[in-house]
Chains A and B, each alone.
Chain A
């Protein structure tokens, strides 16, 4: 099975103190460290597991600048076979639809049976996967937390629904799936792994390679525009339980019961 996984380089929320810059146009990016969007790691791990089971190849793709190459290498160190970087000045400041447009053009250039995305990105809005499927006119399943491939024309995907119950759907290939965390345990990528793929060639495609008109993407093509960033005002303080350990536990149990958290 030929699998394409769309990944994104994001500021790592676990490793940064995110602050809004002075004029509220962006976050403070000077001291940020970046990594692969967490959901994408699960998608790549899932793709690798499917490939190891039924054969084929895994390609990771991202839209970004030169620095985005590092996330492709990290995913290739995990076990993805190929990487593709989609980079062009014309892509800058694309909205979700713009990104989906770019990805769609890249998908059309290959022969993929399955396209995976993370369910959302740390700095995103969870919209690209769905739009990409619509543009390709492929079936789409979101928030997938289980995946069964048996080698036929269909696959089975699961998602969690209200109350922790599981729903299983059958979906035709080719399709687009957005992958939820917890579907697997992504493997660790060590420094050694990254160094091993450090010199692997990663092709870069720009707008012209993809046959995209300049105005279709980037800020010019964006129909959603960011207008402000701010830190919300602090709300009411949390309730602090008082008393001895036993009393606190009793109060907590009561609260949880009254709110339906405990049955």
Chain B
């Protein structure tokens, strides 16, 4: 196409040839960028191993879903959509930006493949993209600068806000696309003035607006605009490129890799050290994450990828309850510490004592405050992990003896008695020996003489807690109704160790797991059923070589669907029920629909969902050892917040499927002063109560 304006490569800038300038700027820009990237990447070599190079198929699928597909973004609708617009604009405009850079070096450069018709299509597409990106950036500038959503606030204890950075970057983006429009618009206007053809100009786009605006300007001004816009675009582009790895916009580069290398196995906890088998753990010099370099390379990549968007903290129940934990700042604080320790210029000024994370970067109470509910990880658009990091820091604290007094007793009881309440082992099966129950539902204790097809793994709380024993008995009756030949381990069962592991006491967990594994395998059962989601997760995700394991809700669902179990109608049907998703059933094991389907099979049951349900469920306060933990700082109990959510949804009955949820919610109902107005019940208890006796 004949052009009336002198191209940037041939133009003179302050007496210098454009081509020279446009070779120099990319050289300097790429040079600085490469230097920064090398400085940023080199600390990864000092970190611990993390084998994430296999399972390429799954990883590529994840990239399509979470990175290219931006799957998590619309969970926050407006900002999510805006991000998708910006992201797709970026993808489209990356080709354009590259073309522009090359045009400065090679006059009339055309991206290979975009010479013909496809080039015209792309031309229109990029005009649309610049326009959409400009509008989105302007909306976001107003949002960040004027409306200032609370999610981005930085409490003083965590450092300073990053709003300036967000706005600066939005301005850079605005600048980039505006330059593009001015560059195109000035050329098109000049062409039209001379009666020459232009690129296809779609009405309504920025290119079209600029062309119209510039229509009456003299050719010399258009030449200046064209040249100036090109130079400014080049400068902003390379400034932006070098600015990316300095702050939260590093995610523009790292998110693709962070998603590709994401954790694929939900509900699991990473081993103490990848590549070190359980048997070799005793040989390790140190446990867990004590200093920055103890993190795995992927966890450091997580820090680099954090966008500081605050979605994790917005969903974190500990944060909502006023505990001193905000997952976002785990990433930000560790990242800043890493940047400080591995500076871009010069060598580290961080002393050995300042390198210890606990007390310098992270606080004890902060790390113990996490219930490992997984709400943060569920929300993160770039798949940052928190649970594994927190468990690793806890492992380090346990190794150093830094464990709050409130947790020391139950941990010691787990070691000595196999349950955190220090109850006698021989009383573990007492729940089944209650008068009135044992006659109608005898429960076998498996051992040398007694065998069964299935094992009911009761776990500590349902074995020993007076109230939760009701769940154990209801489960036993349901198993009986489902015609399953089952038994329990009795005194041979020990705590699953699910929380011992997640509280960082790995060796205690290993002991408990070894004991239970032996007893379960020795019992000769072909399947395991449990009513405790924490035990369920432990058996499924932590233990190896277990027989197939089901949560009772899966089994009930199957029996209800086949018609083997039917329910009688509710006697009192003027109550509204809501189902509270236990974290270790829902988020960690994807069982959302089965318990709901069981509830919906009860005739006359009216069910509503709370706003925060399914994968956005709000943790009741945590299970296992979390029942014993006394946070130093807390404004409100998580359970109380949860009960208020149920009240808001218009429910009078909260159904859950986890003994720990039931403890926390029943307590919270009392604390919230809703006794008599609100009640809580376990799915098993409700199903047992409604069992159709004709069939059962």
CA distance A110 to B478 in the complex (A): 66
Interface-side segment among A82-90, A185-193, A214-222: A185-193
Chain A nearest CB from B85 CB (Å) reads 51
**Beta-carbon contact of B416 and A33 below 8 Å:** yes
Report B391-405 CB contacts with A as 1/0, cut-off 8 Å: 000000011111101
Report A137-172 CB contacts with B as 1/0, cut-off 8 Å: 000000000000000000000000000000000000
Most buried by A among B402, B405, B415, B511: B415
Q: Which residues of B contact A15 (CB under 8 A)?
A: 412-413, 416-417, 422
Write the chain B residue with the least CB distance to A33.
Answer: B416
Most buried by A among B399, B426, B511: B399
CA distance A189 to B426 in the complex (A): 26
Chain A nearest CB from B412 CB (Å) reads 7
**Beta-carbon contact of A14 and B422 below 8 Å:** yes
Write the chain B residue with the least CB distance to A196.
Answer: B282
Q: Given A14-B422, A191-B507, A192-B282, is A35 in contact with B412 using a C-beta cutoff of 8 Å?
A: yes
Q: Which residues of B contact A190 (CB under 8 A)?
A: 398-399, 401, 411, 505, 507-508
Q: Which residues of A contact B409 (CB under 8 A)?
A: 14
Write the chain B residue with the least CB distance to A41.
Answer: B408
B: residues with CB less than 8 A from A are: 281-282, 287, 398-403, 405, 407-409, 411-413, 415-417, 422, 424, 426, 505-508, 510-511
CA distance A187 to B364 in the complex (A): 13
CA distance A192 to B415 in the complex (A): 12
Q: Which residues of A contact B402 (CB under 8 A)?
A: 187-188
Quick one: which of A12, A78, A188 contacts B411, CB cutoff 8 A? Answer: A188
Q: Given A188-B411, A190-B508, is A17 in contact with B424 using a C-beta cutoff of 8 Å?
A: yes
In the complex, whether A67 has a CB less than 8 A from a CB of chain B is no
Write the chain B residue with the least CB distance to A13.
Answer: B422
Q: Show 13 residue pairs from A and B whose CB-CB distance is below 8 angstroms, ordered by the A residue.
A: A12-B412, A15-B412, A15-B416, A33-B416, A79-B401, A187-B401, A188-B411, A190-B411, A190-B508, A191-B415, A191-B505, A192-B398, A195-B507
Q: Which residues of A contact B415 (CB under 8 A)?
A: 191
Chain A nearest CB from B627 CB (Å) reads 16
CA distance A14 to B417 in the complex (A): 11
Chain A nearest CB from B353 CB (Å) reads 14
CA distance A202 to B23 in the complex (A): 75
**Beta-carbon contact of B401 and A188 below 8 Å:** yes
CA distance A33 to B422 in the complex (A): 10
Report A172-211 CB contacts with B as 1/0, cut-off 8 Å: 0000000000000111111111010000000000000000
Write the chain A residue with the least CB distance to B282.
Answer: A195
Chain A nearest CB from B291 CB (Å) reads 19
Interface size classification for chain A: 20 to 34
Most buried by B among A12, A15, A188, A193: A188
Q: Given A188-B408, A195-B507, is A31 in contact with B398 using a C-beta cutoff of 8 Å?
A: no
CA distance A193 to B399 in the complex (A): 7
**Beta-carbon contact of B405 and A185 below 8 Å:** yes
CA distance A43 to B170 in the complex (A): 60
Q: Which residues of A contact B403 (CB under 8 A)?
A: 187-188
**Beta-carbon contact of B422 and A188 below 8 Å:** no
Q: Which residues of B contact A14 (CB under 8 A)?
A: 409, 413, 422
**Beta-carbon contact of A33 and B417 below 8 Å:** yes
CA distance A145 to B264 in the complex (A): 51
CA distance A213 to B408 in the complex (A): 42
CA distance A65 to B426 in the complex (A): 27
Most buried by B among A35, A186, A189: A189
**Beta-carbon contact of B398 and A12 below 8 Å:** no
Q: Which residues of B contact A17 (CB under 8 A)?
A: 424
Q: Given A12-B422, A31-B426, A33-B416, is A191 in contact with B401 using a C-beta cutoff of 8 Å?
A: no
**Beta-carbon contact of B424 and A189 below 8 Å:** no
CA distance A255 to B237 in the complex (A): 76
CA distance A46 to B287 in the complex (A): 25
CA distance A186 to B405 in the complex (A): 8
Secondary structure of the A side of the interface? loop
**Beta-carbon contact of A188 and B424 below 8 Å:** no
Chain B nearest CB from A247 CB (Å) reads 16
Chain B nearest CB from A188 CB (Å) reads 3
CA distance A79 to B398 in the complex (A): 14
**Beta-carbon contact of A193 and B424 below 8 Å:** no
Sample of 18 more A-B contacts, CB < 8 Å, known A79-B401, A190-B401: A14-B422, A15-B412, A16-B422, A31-B426, A33-B417, A186-B405, A187-B400, A188-B398, A188-B402, A189-B401, A190-B399, A190-B411, A190-B505, A191-B508, A192-B399, A192-B506, A193-B399, A193-B401
Q: Which residues of A contact B405 (CB under 8 A)?
A: 185-186
Chain B nearest CB from A57 CB (Å) reads 18
Report A222-247 CB contacts with B as 1/0, cut-off 8 Å: 00000000000000000000000000
CA distance A33 to B415 in the complex (A): 10
Report A1-30 CB contacts with B as 1/0, cut-off 8 Å: 000000000001011110000000000000
Most buried by A among B398, B401, B408, B411: B401
Write the chain A residue with the least CB distance to B510.
Answer: A191
Q: Which residues of A contact B401 (CB under 8 A)?
A: 78-79, 187-190, 193
Report A64-89 CB contacts with B as 1/0, cut-off 8 Å: 00000000000000110000000000
Q: Which residues of A contact B417 (CB under 8 A)?
A: 15, 33
Q: Which residues of A contact B413 (CB under 8 A)?
A: 14-15
Q: Which residues of A contact B508 (CB under 8 A)?
A: 190-191
Chain A nearest CB from B460 CB (Å) reads 14
CA distance A79 to B408 in the complex (A): 17
Nearest first, the 6 closest Cβ-Cβ pairs linking A and B are: A187-B401, A188-B403, A15-B422, A191-B507, A33-B416, A192-B507
Most buried by B among A14, A15, A16, A190: A190
Q: Which residues of A contact B507 (CB under 8 A)?
A: 190-192, 195
Q: Which residues of B contact A78 (CB under 8 A)?
A: 401
Q: Which residues of A contact B282 (CB under 8 A)?
A: 192, 195
Q: Which residues of A contact B411 (CB under 8 A)?
A: 188, 190
Q: Which residues of B contact A185 (CB under 8 A)?
A: 405
Q: Which residues of B contact A191 (CB under 8 A)?
A: 415, 505, 507-508, 510-511
CA distance A195 to B287 in the complex (A): 14
Chain B nearest CB from A16 CB (Å) reads 8
CA distance A18 to B20 in the complex (A): 90
Q: Which residues of A contact B412 (CB under 8 A)?
A: 12, 15, 35
Report A90-113 CB contacts with B as 1/0, cut-off 8 Å: 000000000000000000000000
CA distance A78 to B398 in the complex (A): 12
Chain B nearest CB from A249 CB (Å) reads 14
**Beta-carbon contact of B408 and A35 below 8 Å:** no
CA distance A192 to B280 in the complex (A): 12
Q: Which residues of A contact B399 (CB under 8 A)?
A: 190, 192-193
Q: Which residues of B contact A12 (CB under 8 A)?
A: 412, 416, 422
Chain A nearest CB from B540 CB (Å) reads 24
Write the chain B residue with the least CB distance to A188.
Answer: B403
Q: Which residues of A contact B398 (CB under 8 A)?
A: 188, 190, 192
Chain B nearest CB from A9 CB (Å) reads 13
CA distance A255 to B417 in the complex (A): 40
Write the chain A residue with the least CB distance to B408.
Answer: A188
CA distance A190 to B426 in the complex (A): 25
Q: Which residues of A contact B408 (CB under 8 A)?
A: 186, 188
**Beta-carbon contact of A31 and B424 below 8 Å:** yes
CA distance A16 to B416 in the complex (A): 10
CA distance A14 to B405 in the complex (A): 14
Q: Which residues of B contact A186 (CB under 8 A)?
A: 405, 408
Chain B nearest CB from A227 CB (Å) reads 29
Chain B nearest CB from A225 CB (Å) reads 31
Q: Which residues of B contact A193 (CB under 8 A)?
A: 399, 401
Q: Which residues of B contact A33 (CB under 8 A)?
A: 416-417, 422
Q: Which residues of B contact A16 (CB under 8 A)?
A: 422, 424
Write the chain B residue with the least CB distance to A34.
Answer: B416
Chain B nearest CB from A43 CB (Å) reads 16
CA distance A186 to B401 in the complex (A): 8
CA distance A12 to B413 in the complex (A): 10
CA distance A33 to B408 in the complex (A): 16
